[in-house]
Amino acid sequence: MDVFAVPGLPEVRPGDDLAALVESRADLRDDDVLLVASTVVSKAEDRRADLDDFPAGPRAKEIAERLEAVSGEEKDPRFAQAVLEESTEIIMDAPFLLTATRFGHVGVNAGIDRSNVGDEGHDLLLLPERPSESADRIRRNLSADPAVIVTDTSGRPFRHGQRGVAIGWSGIPASRDWRGETDRDGHELEVTVEAVVDELAAAANLVTGEGDDGLPVAVVRDWEFGNHEGSDNLYRDVDGDFVRQALRGWEFARN
């Protein structure tokens, strides 16, 4: 397969038609996968915000004080308030804020960005409200019919370093299911469900970068989902998420 970034995209503004911006710079094909950084989806959907929009309540003040004590850095309680308002559950409140967003993604600070926000004096960029609907919308506005994936850069537990993940998708299942297929020794695979949208997002991140490259959109070409069952389960239900359950009973203590 090939992975390439779409060149020449402008600073994205509220109301911009991302599909049109991309299609005037790339000849998309129906079997392409188009990967769009959530940053520009948020800009187009005007998810920019200001710290002043989030007057801190008691819980946010408490969280910010604790984070300050733990990190020795100044923490703005309005930022904690913004994270609270974007989240359905606070999974960890120290030494950083790990929360679940309304659409199921778990991330530090609810994925709120303070970099690449845009140059109009806003402090924050919130994630798209419903990224799979954003992906649907972009797809509907294209004249070709590629799969569309909205990505974000995310850290991971157990490993250093961040990588691209999918937070919304359209026209492609989230995963391909290898269960019931066989390995080279003829053994039946029992558990392997491959999160292809995350793998594609990670590939896209390799060419879009994280800084001032100005490359928020990538195309994966000549990759095939293949003849597999698909599923859209990417976010674990709390019931089946034992790591999340374990964290609920955990308290940060500096040692």
Binding residues for a divalent metal cation: 113, 152-153, 210
Single residue of 90, 215, 221, 223 touching ligand GDP by CB under 6 A: 215
Give percent helix, percent strand, percent coil of the chain, each to the nearest 5: 30, 25, 50
Which tokens in the block code for residue 242?
């034992």
CB of 211 to ligand GDP, least distance (A): 6
| 147-154/106-108 β-pairing | unpaired
Does the protein bind ligand GDP through residue 37 (CB under 6 A)? yes
> 7 or 95, CB closer to ligand GDP?
7
CB-CB contact of 132 with 118 (8 Å): no
Give the x/- contact pattern for ligand GDP in 216-255, rule: CB under 6 A: x---------------------------------------
CB of 88 to Mn ion, least distance (A): 19
DSSP secondary structure string for all residues of 132-163: HHHHHHHHHT-SS--EEEEEEEE--TTSSS-E
Nearest-CA neighbor of 11 among 51, 44, 58, 57?
Answer: 44
Single residue of 101, 153, 170, 175 touching Mn ion by CB under 5 A: 153
CB-CB contact of 59 with 32 (8 Å): no
CB-CB contact of 211 with 202 (8 Å): no
171 binds, among Mn ion, ligand GDP, none (CB under 5 to 8 A by kind): none
CB-CB contact of 64 with 48 (8 Å): no
Alpha helix (H) residue ranges in 146-241: 196-208
> 45 or 173, CB closer to Mn ion?
45
Single residue of 31, 68, 113, 177 touching ligand GDP by CB under 6 A: 113
The residues binding ligand GDP (CB under 6 A) are: 9-12, 37-40, 43, 113, 115-116, 152-153, 208-216
The residues binding Mn ion (CB under 5 A) are: 113, 152-153, 210
